Chains A and B, each alone.
Chain A
């Protein structure tokens, strides 16, 4: 009598987990076929291209490459076996590792930027479960302006996105960190304490808003310099379609629309009137641009990041930029790889690499692999663990803090694995690039 229901429950759990997994996969639309080439055309960017010759052991490191900050090796790969084909490159004391898709076969890019700190004229390659095609290959060398001393604005769609994408950048540059939404949606992390839905999501947004204001401290950014605009998670898409209309929170029940904005330590933003409408969001971003006068803006890449609110954060920024004169470069990141949510692949010591991309214009001028020191990476882990949406809320009362579907998702998509890497990767775009990028994004939307 007691046995059968337990087995039944287990099967239900398996089914729920499978359904969540399947939905997750289905939502990630354009799947990348690992037998395909990566579609990046780096020769069309502002790269200095250097031909190298790959032999069975590696290649000769060209003189002069050390002057670049970001260096990519384009090569043909063919994976033989195993779930995580891995390529390592070593040049006299400096080494990198990068992991590729299971059954990868085709053109790939290995981030060898750290090798510029190595010594000697020879790079030794070693594959595990993967072979490279010997013969002519290309190195792409980028020179970016150092971030130190420049005014940097990091834009995050949700609390934790700034940390995932750009903790190292804001720690080095002392950036302003502005988060757009309260993160008041998603899964029910705090259900054990708040079973009522509207209340649960109000609290969840409150906790995550506070995370977005206080966690940048671990990178030296004090609250006040870290701010949250207090828009609602899950509403940006509708807001853009009806720009003047106000939308209530998706799930949270609030006493006041400005509930989240009022948690800011920065008095100017706290007291700034709030309307949950697209036009207000664009105005707020313009207001931030005028305050911060950024020379660099860090924000998601709307074609590479699959989360619609990540895309729309940059689209809103594009509208604000059209009304602001300042000279600025954009550093575009990918927190939810469009064709593979598990990006970056491999463990946290492996290089970030480029996100899988089958082809099509991406509107960037350069790549920037921003290096993190071991200390940066430890602190980045501390900042990630400080996020209520990334750690398990375990009250040690015998209740499992993570539902089965979440556990399954963590096996592939855990940000503790994906984020604290040796580098943070950005696609550098000019103002003009971004205007074209936003147009392209809008054209992609039109048929739907």
Chain B
């Protein structure tokens, strides 16, 4: 087979794999539907506005940091619809699903800093429905000065979801797994799978410890618990059982944990069980005494390791009495993996959602300065699983076709470094209800054939 035909063959295989992968991402959001969020039932102040052909009058708003405009969007062309809003010099734009028709939410938080009483709207490939509309205003406790713990299921999740937050608050950043599964990034150097995934986990563990520096968090304050990628769900189902890594061949179970710069965690005994994970999280809660914990939203984030990171956290919270709030993020939008939509200068927006209760009190849109967005991009590029491992051999890396395909939709260089990071704010009490609802839904879906 010539190199050219091999490449064509690979491309076909990759397209097929991508198609299968897309189908595996279960409930695809149907763009003709409304977003199901009921923000009026949350702790929002509601302001009525009237949309006309050019925009709307910016009302006198109660104090707040996060402002969402509820608006009905009708796509008018084949391209992804885009809505822009400007007030004085402040402006935002956001991109919605192709063929959108229904209720959406435009994040207009940055317009608080604009001047003048008028917001100009501009649409590309869409129209908005004129008439009465609502602004939802949230007032969150400022993060500055609060102790923050950022929890990441895998190396790079903390950066994708909360680089701006940890840079601003000098948070502790704790990653749960080594990231020792997934694609064969380093196949060109390590062809034996067990060895390859050992090295991959080792490289990514170091990413999770060393990259938060770009946000001012030193190794030591960035830590990795050293659990194994893709194993959290089976661990939760059998909490006392020790599980082996999915693909990596390790000399000893605590291999990844030993690479911590923080001596206390490095020397802490390791067992790859759910019970031990929960005990580690209790230990971290006692050390950090966080007032804010940043973690994935188990219903909105599609990845099982993300979901069960937060389930483990809520288990741990049962054994730790501290007063704290949860800020929940979405790195793999359940109903649309491509979330957030549009280019990296577009607002993050809310993830597509047609399901039920999400147990949050507030929405928090955390603004990043342009400098923070640049540094966030630097931090994302520093992650081995997000950049291409290109050794400049004469042939392109074998995964190029896959990488190219993936980047069209799922590139975190596009999805990550946005003007804002979006969180759902959940209380301790609501977190418990969220866990029960999540686990009940899991059980129900597991019972189905």
Question: Are A and B genuine complex partners?
Answer: yes
How long is the Cα–Cα vector from A85 to B67 in the complex, in angstroms? 69
Using Cβ atoms and an 8 Å threshold, which residues of chain B touch A217? 206, 210, 259
How long is the Cα–Cα vector from A88 to B270 in the complex, in angstroms? 50
Q: Which of B206, B220, B381, B391 contacts A395 (CB 8 A)?
A: B381
A207 contacts B by Cβ under 8 Å:
yes
How long is the Cα–Cα vector from A218 to B210 in the complex, in angstroms? 12
A68 contacts B by Cβ under 8 Å:
no
Using Cβ atoms and an 8 Å threshold, which residues of chain A touch B218? 265
Q: Is the CB of A410 within 8 A of B392?
A: yes
Q: Which of A52-60, A363-371, A378-386 contacts B (4 or more CB under 8 A)?
A: A378-386
**Closest-CB distance, A420 to chain B (whole angstroms):** 9
* Interface residue tally on A, bucketed by range: 20 to 34
Using Cβ atoms and an 8 Å threshold, which residues of chain A touch B377? 193, 395
Q: Which of B6-14, B109-117, B290-298, B382-390 contacts A (4 or more CB under 8 A)?
A: B382-390
Using Cβ atoms and an 8 Å threshold, which residues of chain A touch B413? 395-397
Which of chain A's residues has its CB closest to B380's CB?
A: A395
* Interface residue tally on B, bucketed by range: 20 to 34
A414 contacts B by Cβ under 8 Å:
yes
B407 contacts A by Cβ under 8 Å:
yes
Using Cβ atoms and an 8 Å threshold, which residues of chain A touch B219? 214, 223, 265
How long is the Cα–Cα vector from A397 to B390 in the complex, in angstroms? 17
How long is the Cα–Cα vector from A207 to B392 in the complex, in angstroms? 22
Using Cβ atoms and an 8 Å threshold, which residues of chain A touch B186? 382
Q: Which of B206, B213, B391 contacts A416 (CB 8 A)?
A: B391
A210 contacts B by Cβ under 8 Å:
yes
**Closest-CB distance, A313 to chain B (whole angstroms):** 25
B203 contacts A by Cβ under 8 Å:
yes
How long is the Cα–Cα vector from A214 to B259 in the complex, in angstroms? 12
**Closest-CB distance, A409 to chain B (whole angstroms):** 12
Q: Is the CB of B391 within 8 A of A381?
A: yes
Using Cβ atoms and an 8 Å threshold, which residues of chain A touch B261? 222-224, 265
Q: Which of B214, B374, B378, B387 contacts A394 (CB 8 A)?
A: B387
Using Cβ atoms and an 8 Å threshold, which residues of chain A touch B203? 218, 382
A194 contacts B by Cβ under 8 Å:
yes
B189 contacts A by Cβ under 8 Å:
yes
How long is the Cα–Cα vector from A207 to B190 in the complex, in angstroms? 27
Q: Is the CB of A193 within 8 A of B390?
A: no
Indicate the member of B189, B190, B374, B407 with the most A CB atoms within 10 Å.
Answer: B189
Using Cβ atoms and an 8 Å threshold, which residues of chain A touch B259? 217
A107 contacts B by Cβ under 8 Å:
no
How long is the Cα–Cα vector from A126 to B126 in the complex, in angstroms? 71
**Closest-CB distance, A388 to chain B (whole angstroms):** 8
Using Cβ atoms and an 8 Å threshold, which residues of chain A touch B206? 214, 217-218
How long is the Cα–Cα vector from A193 to B189 in the complex, in angstroms? 31
Q: Is the CB of A210 within 8 A of B213?
A: yes
Q: Restricting to B246-264, which residues have a CB under 8 Å from any CB of A?
A: 259, 261
Q: Which of B213, B374, B390 contacts A392 (CB 8 A)?
A: B390
Using Cβ atoms and an 8 Å threshold, which residues of chain A touch B407? 396
Q: Interface digits, B86-130 against A, CB 8 Å rule (1 contact, 0 not)? A: 000000000000000000000000000000000000000000000
Q: Restricting to A216-262, which residues have a CB under 8 Å from any CB of B?
A: 217-218, 222-224
Q: Interface digits, B394-432 against A, CB 8 Å rule (1 contact, 0 not)? A: 000000000000010001011000000000000000000
Which of chain A's residues has its CB closest to B393's CB?
A: A416
Q: Which of B210, B389, B411, B414 contacts A385 (CB 8 A)?
A: B389
**Closest-CB distance, B395 to chain A (whole angstroms):** 14
A15 contacts B by Cβ under 8 Å:
no
Q: Which of A193, A381, A391 contacts B378 (CB 8 A)?
A: A193
Q: Is the CB of A378 within 8 A of B189?
A: yes
A393 contacts B by Cβ under 8 Å:
yes
Which of chain A's residues has its CB closest to B344's CB?
A: A397
Contacts A210-B213, A397-B413 given: A382-B374 contact, CB under 8 Å? Answer: no
Q: Interface digits, A166-197 against B, CB 8 Å rule (1 contact, 0 not)? A: 00000000000000000000000010011000
Q: Which of A194, A222, A263, A265 contacts B374 (CB 8 A)?
A: A194
Using Cβ atoms and an 8 Å threshold, which residues of chain B touch A265? 218-220, 261
Which of chain A's residues has its CB closest to B202's CB?
A: A218
Using Cβ atoms and an 8 Å threshold, which residues of chain B touch A222? 261
Q: Interface digits, B363-378 against A, CB 8 Å rule (1 contact, 0 not)? A: 0000000000010011
How long is the Cα–Cα vector from A50 to B259 in the complex, in angstroms? 47
How long is the Cα–Cα vector from A417 to B377 in the complex, in angstroms? 28
Q: List 30 A-B contacts (CB under 8 A).
A: A190-B378, A193-B374, A193-B377, A194-B374, A203-B378, A210-B214, A214-B206, A214-B213, A217-B206, A217-B210, A218-B203, A222-B261, A223-B261, A224-B261, A263-B213, A265-B218, A265-B219, A265-B261, A378-B190, A381-B391, A382-B186, A385-B391, A392-B390, A393-B381, A394-B381, A394-B388, A395-B377, A396-B413, A416-B391, A417-B392
Q: Which 10 A-B residue pairs are closest in the complex by CB-CB distance?
A: A214-B210, A378-B189, A193-B374, A396-B413, A416-B392, A217-B206, A210-B213, A395-B413, A396-B407, A416-B391
Q: Footprint of A on B, CB under 8 Å?
A: 186, 189-190, 203, 206, 210, 213-214, 218-220, 259, 261, 344, 374, 377-378, 381, 387-392, 407, 411, 413-414
Known A217-B259, A381-B189, A394-B387; further 12 A-B contacts with Cβ < 8 A: A193-B378, A194-B374, A203-B378, A214-B210, A222-B261, A223-B219, A378-B189, A381-B391, A382-B189, A393-B381, A394-B388, A410-B392
